[in-house]
Amino acid sequence: MKKITATILCLFFLANYKAQSQSLKVNWDQTVSVSKSTPTLQVVGNPMLRRKAAMHDASFSALKNLNADFVRYVPWFPYPKLAVAELEPPAEKTSWDFSLIDPMTIDFLENTKGHSVILNFSTIPQWMFKTDKPVAYPADANQVGWGYAGGTQLRDTTMKELTDYYVRLISWYAKGGFTDELGKYHKSGHHYDIPYWEVLNEPDLEHQMSPQTYTRIYDAMVTAIKAVLPNTKFIGMALAYENPEWFEYFLNPANHKSGIPLDMISYHCYANANSNQKFDAYEYAVFDKAENFINSVNYIESIRKRLSPNTKTDIDELGTFVSDEMRNQPITPAYWNLSASVYAYFFIELSKRGIDVIGESQLVGFPTQFPDVSMINYINNKPNARFWVLKMIKDNIKSGSILIKTDISGNNGDNILAQGFIVGGVKKVLILNKRNKGIFVKLPAGFKGAKISTVDGDSGDNKATRSIVNDENIEMKPFAVKLIELTK
């Protein structure tokens, strides 16, 4: 009797749950806009991407398998020996050395061959800055050196020292080699295409530059690099924060030298949990911050359209951070699904706003090096939910897709976000759950038999699961992301 009663109560609860489900509404005849957006990712150089490192093989295999355009590559200052090709100032001899930089960079270029890539060797040699004393760097290439990005004033105010360094570095990868400061030729044999070069990274943080100083550096570097690579396009700013002063100044052509191109700008967003916050509250913190960022994008877009409407936008670092407390312990598996859901949210909202490139951050992180942004599970070396959601979007929604009027009725608490697309004549819906609970969504008539790809807690560190719509309701498990493709 107790078993029968429990079963009846369970069925009653399920029926009531579905009765309260939210309803998807897609008006396939109402176009909102045509997408210009390309989903992609960034690859930050670090010890786990070195050959023979535990995460190397799986990470580069995943990158190649993703087959993405506009992938951003950033050898970064915490590992100076992996990022800076001339660690000491030239004197009686030079210190040019690519032996530790080349393997990772070549693996990146080979595994993205045939695609547009964005290179950003963002770390300026420390000796080029005025400091009270020389800044040391770790002897061990794998040891982190957070103090290496200090200094706010270049010692050579003409910036020739700076631009010569970057011309030589670029020539190493694109022109087969270069002649150093003392007249010695260094042969690389590399002749890679460099379609995009991004000028520095987060200059508002790393060297506390003003927009005026950065703009002078940008103009000098673009002038010098274009003399070597005339077909390369340039990306400016790569800002950590959405400070309007930067956009107002940099996007104004009057603040640049004549003939300097403003091909593309970039900036970043990490939707983070608050200090000491427990995971149960993350869903509200990170999505609130993601929504606030979208409001900032609206404002920045108004500046761009007013000052430099032909300049494109690459938001090339999008991710989430855990709290300090959680970073110091194993990250719960549900976090990866939450973070993946946030990227899907960013993709939908930024596509609506005409953002050209939407880049998830980053391929590899690990304990002590931003583990919360990794797209590879550093425990088992398998791509995690963040990677699989990016791949699902990249494989299904292209630039040129038509955005369709889409709503969720009964969406109490703004729990579900969905967007309909027509891609090459095929009707698709990207839908995500913002909440750490299961939610049923009622589908419109005509969805029966549609194909569903799902990334959620059940798929784990595996590719999206596949199923067929056979009911008017689908369940969105906690932080689930689904791609529904209509078959007719």
Instruction: Report pLDDT digits (tens) over 45-75.
Output: 999 999 999 999 999 999 999 999 999 999 9
pLDDT at 20: 53
Map tokens 């000098």 to a residue: 220
Determine the topology of domain 22-32+403-485 in CATH.
Answer: Immunoglobulin-like (2.60.40)
Residues in the chain: 488
The residue type of 70 is: F
pLDDT at 241: 95
- Cβ pair 167, 89 in contact under 8 A: no
**Residues 385, 67: contact at Cβ < 8 Å?**
no
C-alpha distance from residue 26 to each of 111, 201, 404 (Å)? 38, 40, 7
Q: Encoding tokens for residue 263?
A: 């091909």
The DSSP result for 223-259, as a single string, is HHHHHH-TT-EEEEEEESS--HHHHHHHT-GGGS-TT
Cα distances (Å, whole numbers) of residue 480 to 124, 301, 336, 405, 458: 41, 30, 11, 22, 9
Beta bridge partners of 118: 72, 196
Alpha-carbon distance of 135 to 137, in angstroms, equals: 7
**Cβ(219)–Cβ(236) under 8 Å?**
no
pLDDT for position 276: 83
Please count the other Cβ atoms lying within 10 Å of the Cβ belonging to residue 61.
14
Distance CA 127, CA 206 (A): 15
Residue 375 main-chain phi, psi, to 5 deg: -100, 0
Backbone angles phi, psi at 71, to 5 degrees: -70, 130
Question: How far, in Å, are 35, 266, 467 from residue 372 at the CA level?
Answer: 29, 22, 30
Tokens of 402: 């038509």
Tell me the C-alpha distance between 199 and 279, whole Å: 36
> Residue 180's CB: how many other CB atoms inside 10 A?
17
CATH 3.20.20.80 fits 36-399, yes or no: yes
DSSP lists the bridge partners of residue 268 as 317
Q: Label residue 395 exposed, middle or buried (CB < 10 Å: 0-12, 13-18, 19+).
A: middle
Q: What is the mean pLDDT of the chain?
A: 94
Task: Provide the pLDDT for residue 365.
Answer: 95
How far apart are the C-alpha atoms of 476 and 325, rounded to whole Å?
29
Question: Which residues of the chain carry a pLDDT beneath 50?
Answer: 2-3, 5-19
Question: In the prediction, which pLDDT does 17 show?
Answer: 46
Q: What is the pLDDT of residue 421?
A: 98
Name the segment(s) of the chain with CATH classification 3.20.20.80. Answer: 36-399
Distances (CA, A) of 110 to 106, 214, 226, 383: 6, 31, 24, 20
Contact 391, 74 (CB under 8 A): no
Every domain range in the chain assigned CATH 2.60.40.1180: 22-32+403-485
Q: Tens digit of pLDDT for each residue in 356-398? A: 999 999 999 999 889 999 999 999 999 999 999 999 999 999 9
Angstrom distance (rounded) from CA 347 to CA 343: 6
Q: For the whole model, what pTM was predicted?
A: 0.94
What does DSSP say about strands 22-34 and 117-119: parallel, antiparallel, or unpaired? Answer: unpaired
> Left if phi > 0, otherwise alpha if psi is -120 to 50, otherwise beta: which for 215?
alpha
**What is the pLDDT, as a whole number, of residue 413?**
64
Give CA–CA dist 162/124, Å, rounded: 8
Q: What number of H helices and E strands is found in the chain? A: 11, 19
CA distance 182 to 129: 21
